[in-house]
Amino acid sequence: MVTAQRCAAQLLSGDLAASAEEVAGRLLVIQAQDPRGARLAVRARSAGLSASDVDDALTERRSLVVSWLNRGTLHLVRAEDYWWLHPLTTPQLRTGNSRRLEQEGVPGQDAARAVASIGAALASGPLTRPQLRERVAAAGVRTQGQAMVHILALATIEGLIVRGPVVGRDQAFALVRDWLGAPPPAMSREAALGELARRYLAGHAPAADHDLARWAGIGLREARLGLARCCAVQRTDGLAELPANPRRATAALPPPRLLGAFDPLLLGWVSRDPIVGPHRLIVTVNGLFRPFALVGGRAVATWTFSGGSVALEPFAALDSQTAAALDTDAADVTRFLGY
């Protein structure tokens, strides 16, 4: 029952979303270091959209952006939610970012000069990472190895830049002030924690306080404060949900569906065992979350996409009805991606 309720909260069962913004609004953030995976997360939770609809939201409507947020990882988020989520989840990333820059041979003074050069370069409009790398190198700052990644992360943590428009196969960076305009009135940290908990439960309930803390990259005390602030209801099984949750009584497991890399269904709770069971290699030793097939609320296969088609690798033989349903969903993956 818990898995069915979580799938319903995740928009994997019941009414599907009508826009990429609606999916992002329900989930709050969608892990996005794998751009295709983020787009496939939208596909699995919506009807009739294509990857180009996500690109339009990023490029034309500016209603979605990608930024380093929760846990210091790139996430797709609604522009309106960026404003309060960024100051809530990024200050705690500074120490780790500074350490990594030092390890990459970029001391504090050089890092500050790199960020200034990025700000100056983007004043003329969005630029891709290779273009920004040239500007930073011209400022005399090391960009080799992982240095440039952590420089861009620093500029993001400081609230200077976001990933905005899609340019070919890349996504350009833009100045926050230029791309998103003037910020709304600031939200207090306590109010932001309440909003974080409320939105987390909307897309992940039922869940525990430590699930929220891990997912958001905040302390357990702050997670509990947020849950109290949003008036979360504690269930008899120790999990929390929002008051008067209409999905609780009607939740059903989703139909067979192909989920992409880093799908939110594997990232929202401390334990992913209810979904992956013994098939732990869905998450590789180097931290990659592989695309997988969900049937009856459990992972039954991994899959790859190459040459415009899906190749399924089942963990065990699939019955004909399940195989047919996954073939139908594979055709929709191909359609969604524009092949």
Please answer whether residues 58 and 166 qualify as being in contact, where contact means their C-beta atoms are separated by less than 8 angstroms.
Answer: yes
Q: Is the peptide bond before 206 cis (omega within 30 degrees of 0)?
A: yes
Amino acid making up residue 128: T
Confidence of residue 250 (pLDDT cuts 50, 70, 90): confident
Average pLDDT over residues 175-200: 97
pLDDT range class, residue 280, cuts 50, 70, 90: confident
Q: How far apart are CA 71 and CA 75, in angstroms?
A: 10
Which pLDDT value is given to residue 246?
Answer: 58
pLDDT band at 245 (very low <50, low <70, confident <90, very high): low
Is the predicted pLDDT of residue 247 greater than 80, yes or no? no
C-beta separation of 157 from 68 below 8 A: yes
- pLDDT tens-place string over residues 139-179: 999 999 999 999 999 999 999 999 999 999 899 999 999 99
**pLDDT, mean of residues 262-277:** 97
d(CA 162, CA 30): 15
Over residues 15-39, the mean pLDDT reads 97
Each domain of the chain, given as residue ranges in start order, spans 20-179, 186-250, 257-337
pLDDT at 117 over 60: yes
CA dihedral 113, 119, 120, 122 (to 10 degrees): 140
pLDDT value at position 287?
87
- Say whether domain 186-250 belongs to CATH 3.10.450: no
The overall average pLDDT reported for the chain is 96
- Give me 336's structure tokens: 């969604």
Give the integer Cα–Cα distance in Å for 131 and 135.
7
Q: What is the DSSP letter of 135?
A: H
- In whole angstroms, what is the distance from residue 294 CA to residue 326 CA? 9
Residue 146: both structure tokens together = 């992982």
| Partners of 207 in the β-ladder | 240
308-327: per-residue pLDDT in tens? 999 999 999 999 999 999 99
Q: What is the pLDDT of residues 40-61, one digit of tens each?
A: 999 999 999 999 999 999 999 9
pLDDT of the residue at 42: 98
Number of Cβ atoms within 10 Å of the Cβ of 299: 21
Per-residue confidence band for 181, with pLDDT thresholds at 50, 70 and 90: very high
Q: By the 8 A CB rule, do 75 and 32 touch?
A: yes
- Which stretch of DSSP H or E encloses residue 165? strand 161-167
**Is residue 249 over pLDDT 60?**
no
Instruction: Say what the pLDDT of residue 104 is.
Output: 97
- Span 9-33, mean pLDDT? 97
Q: pLDDT digits over 88-109, tens only?
A: 999 999 999 999 999 999 999 9
- pLDDT of 248 strictly over 90: no
Instruction: Map tokens 């050089």 to a residue.
Output: 110
Asked if 54 and 165 count as a contact pair (C-beta separation under 8 A), the reply is no
pLDDT score for 224: 98
Residue 61 Cα to chain centre, angstroms: 19
Question: Token pair for residue 267?
Answer: 């990232």
